[in-house]
Structure 1
Amino acid sequence: MTTPNTPPSRGELLRHLVTTRIAGLVATPREVNLRHYTELVEGNRRYWLGLDLGDRWKSAEDVLAVLAERAGVEADPAHRAGQDTIDPMRTLDGLDRMAALLRDAAARRSRVLVATGHPGGLLDVHRAIAEALRAAGAEIVDIPRGLRVTEGDDDTKGQVRQFGGVAVLESGATLWHTHAPQPMSAILDALKESGQAWPDLVVADHGWAGRAGQHGIPTAAFADCNDPALFLGEAEGTITVTVPLDDHIEDARDYAPMTAYLLATAGLTPRSR
């Protein structure tokens, strides 16, 4: 990889994912993962990320089994503390499946909504996706102006804005880290009220992705192993693709080779055409 924007080979990216801890031995503690799995099965909607999971998931062990299969976390329920993992091969496979959706969206000149609840980590990833899709002929949905979320926790409230084609939540002049689905609901409600069609595809994370998928919109999501709902949504067919990765590594610039690989695989960079 000569520059951050040069698409790496699959082998190069595999090594990069492990070296930067985007995958492999990730920073997320095992005890945090297990606590989130328990909160989800106990019905804490904060951990459902906008999905309606009902009472279908009976135990944290059931959730762990799905995360072991789809994200590559340690499968042994007796592993209760310390390090946890994301299988980098599953990250690569997820990127390939997401790339297929992006390629199809560009070919069909689809309406695509890109959003992130993790601007400190993934904003540049989403921005690059939006720019590449627009350049390839897809329509990046312009969200209606003046959208606000006024109810919920502190990380839910604020103005829903768009920067570089990416929808985010802003509060107090700060882009907000939020797991909430309410910002996506605000966008979809406003599109409907103004007579505009909903997106053909959503590329997002956290509750932005979950709520879009719950509404039946094809959704490609990035998710950390401590956000189990999107993996359960993929298992149930509500989320189209969920890419496992650490969603807030030490230096967000280290996502650039992954983004370059994704776009090149989707046929959205000059080198790959």
Structure 2
Amino acid sequence: MLIGIDPEWGWGVRDLVGLMADKCGVSADLRDTSGQDAIDPELTLAALDAFAERLAVVAQRGAPVLLGTGHPHRLLGFYGGLADALSAAGCDVLTPAQGRCVDITTRFGLRTYNLDYVRGVALVRERGPGRPGCATGVHTHSPLPVRLALAAAAEAGGPLPELVIGDHGWVCGAGQLGFEAIGLADTDDPALFVGEAEGSVSVAVPVDDAVRSDYYRPLTRYVLNRACLSQ
């Protein structure tokens, strides 16, 4: 899935598998067609260091940031911790287009969702009765929510984010529009690594994005410590 990236290069299967082997540590053998992927923890740590460097820069500048996730059930806590720390450092954590509708094509057909923010992190949720600000949200790869958020920020006269932080379409969609974007990506989301290779994504961190939410707490602590943002 392209999830917002429009590749400039011609990526064949061998090229893509080679890239994922270099960036994530998966097997580069095209004959490996079954079983679980493996992520090299050293590659994850190196990418987390680069991720933390970008956070440190925007924190030092007090620059506006936008955070969003297509994996709210798993990754909201990770991004929420970053949002809290960046806000405490003087960054404006943006929340444009809150409550606005966004139409997303899914395998079940066209669905209309609402854009919402929890702890400063954008997500989309089903329309209808619900508690604003609750953590339940929809798993999506779509770049449409970030496009909506960025368009709303521009229409309001800004500020626009100097850094977009997230996953899936939040990173790819923002990067394709020329915003600096960093985020987490699993091995079945090669678009972020393609974007990083081509320069539209600044940092893509290889992680398993479907484990229990509390398993990401060490990553939050590591990134905030490396960025000197621990509270």
What TM-score does the superposition give when structure 2 sets the normalisation length? 0.92
Q: Which residue number in structure 2 is paired with residue 171 of structure 1? A: 126
Equivalences, count = 222
Q: Which residue number in structure 2 is paired with residue 140 of structure 1? A: 93
How far, CA to CA, are the matches of 1:228 and 1:138 in structure 2?
30
Q: CA-to-partner distance for each residue in 1:95-151, whole Å, 9 max, x for gaps?
A: 100000001111000000011000111110000000010011111112233311124
Give the direction of change, closer, same or farther, for the CA distance of 1:197–1:137 in structure 2 (3 Å limit): closer
Whether 1:60 and 2:13 are equivalent positions in the alignment is yes
Q: Which residue number in structure 2 is paired with residue 29 of structure 1? A: none
Q: Which residue number in structure 1 is paired with residue 61 of structure 2? A: 108
Q: Which residue number in structure 1 is paired with residue 102 of structure 2? A: 149
Unpaired segments ≥5 residues, structure 1: 1-46
SS for the counterpart of 2:95 is coil
Give the direction of change, closer, same or farther, for the CA distance of 1:65–1:166 in structure 2 (3 Å limit): same
Whether 1:186 and 2:148 are equivalent positions in the alignment is yes
SS for the counterpart of 1:85 is coil
Counterpart selection for 1:90 from 38, 43, 67: 43
**Identity value in percent:** 39
Task: Check whether the contact 1:143–1:162 (CA below 8 A) recurs between aligned residues.
Answer: no
What amino acid sits opposite 1:102 in the alignment? Answer: L
SS for the counterpart of 1:94 is helix
Give the direction of change, closer, same or farther, for the CA distance of 1:193–1:138 in structure 2 (3 Å limit): same
SS for the counterpart of 2:37 is strand
Q: Which residue number in structure 1 is paired with residue 72 of structure 2? A: 119
What amino acid sits opposite 2:174 in the alignment? Answer: A
What amino acid sits opposite 2:145 in the alignment? Answer: P
- After TM superposition, give the deviation of residue 75 of structure 1 in Å: 1.2
Q: CA-to-partner distance for each residue in 1:159-182, whole Å, 9 max, x for gaps?
A: 011110000011144400000000
Q: Which residue number in structure 1 is paired with residue 2 of structure 2? A: 48
Q: Which residue number in structure 1 is paired with residue 133 of structure 2? A: none
- After TM superposition, give the deviation of residue 197 of structure 1 in Å: 3.0
How far, CA to CA, are the matches of 1:111 and 1:129 in structure 2?
13
What TM-score does the superposition give when structure 1 sets the normalisation length? 0.78
Counterpart selection for 2:185 from 223, 236, 261: 223
How far, CA to CA, are the matches of 1:170 and 1:207 in structure 2?
15
Unpaired segments ≥5 residues, structure 2: 131-135
Over 6 Å off, 4+ runs: none
Task: Check whether the contact 1:106–1:133 (CA below 8 A) recurs between aligned residues.
Answer: yes
Q: Which residue number in structure 2 is paired with residue 268 of structure 1? A: 229
How far, CA to CA, are the matches of 1:140 and 1:48 in structure 2?
27
Whether 1:254 and 2:215 are equivalent positions in the alignment is yes
Counterpart selection for 1:76 from 29, 32, 37: 29
What amino acid sits opposite 1:101 in the alignment? Answer: R
Q: Which residue number in structure 2 is paired with residue 23 of structure 1? A: none
SS for the counterpart of 1:220 is strand
What amino acid sits opposite 1:96 in the alignment? Answer: D
Task: Check whether the contact 1:143–1:167 (CA below 8 A) recurs between aligned residues.
Answer: no
Q: Which residue number in structure 2 is paired with residue 212 of structure 1? A: 174
- After TM superposition, give the deviation of residue 62 of structure 1 in Å: 1.1
How far, CA to CA, are the matches of 2:210 and 2:24 in structure 1?
16
- After TM superposition, give the deviation of residue 156 of structure 1 in Å: 6.0
- After TM superposition, give the deviation of residue 89 of structure 1 in Å: 0.4
Give the direction of change, closer, same or farther, for the CA distance of 1:135–1:156 in structure 2 (3 Å limit): farther
How far, CA to CA, are the matches of 2:104 and 2:46 in structure 1?
38
- After TM superposition, give the deviation of residue 53 of structure 1 in Å: 1.6
How far, CA to CA, are the matches of 2:104 and 2:60 in structure 1?
39
Q: Select between 192-201 and 117-126 the one with higher mean Cα deviation.
A: 192-201
Task: Check whether the contact 2:97–2:115 (CA below 8 A) recurs between aligned residues.
Answer: no
